Structure 1
C-alpha cells in the first residue's frame, strides 16, 4: 500500500481525541473532534463549535484523508 503525501502515521501526537461522530439536540449527526483544553466539540468540516451536543462516539479509520 502506498502512503499518501501528507498522511499522518500512527506515531504522530495530537492534542485532540480520536475523530468523533457527534449527535446534537436537533437530531443531526456530524463528524467532529473534541478540544481537550476546552472540552468543546468542533465540526470536522469547518472547525466551528458544535452547539447542543448530547453525545458522541469514536470514529477510527485506517485511511488518512
Structure 2
C-alpha cells in the first residue's frame, strides 16, 4: 500500500484514508491508493468504514468525490 504524509484533496482521486495520527514523531500517514470506482475510498478502506456502520453506509462531508 502506498502512503503519503499529507492529506490528499477531497476532490482528488486518491483514497486519503488516515492510517495513523500525529504521534510522538509528529507524522501522520494517509492511503495514496486510487479511489475505487463509485466509492469514496479504495476498496479496502471503503470496506473498513462500511463495517463500522450497522447498515454498511459510508457517510461523507460535502466536497468529497467518488472514484471514477
TM-score (ref. length: structure 2): 0.25
Bigger strand fraction: 1
Larger Rg: 1
TM-score (ref. length: structure 1): 0.26
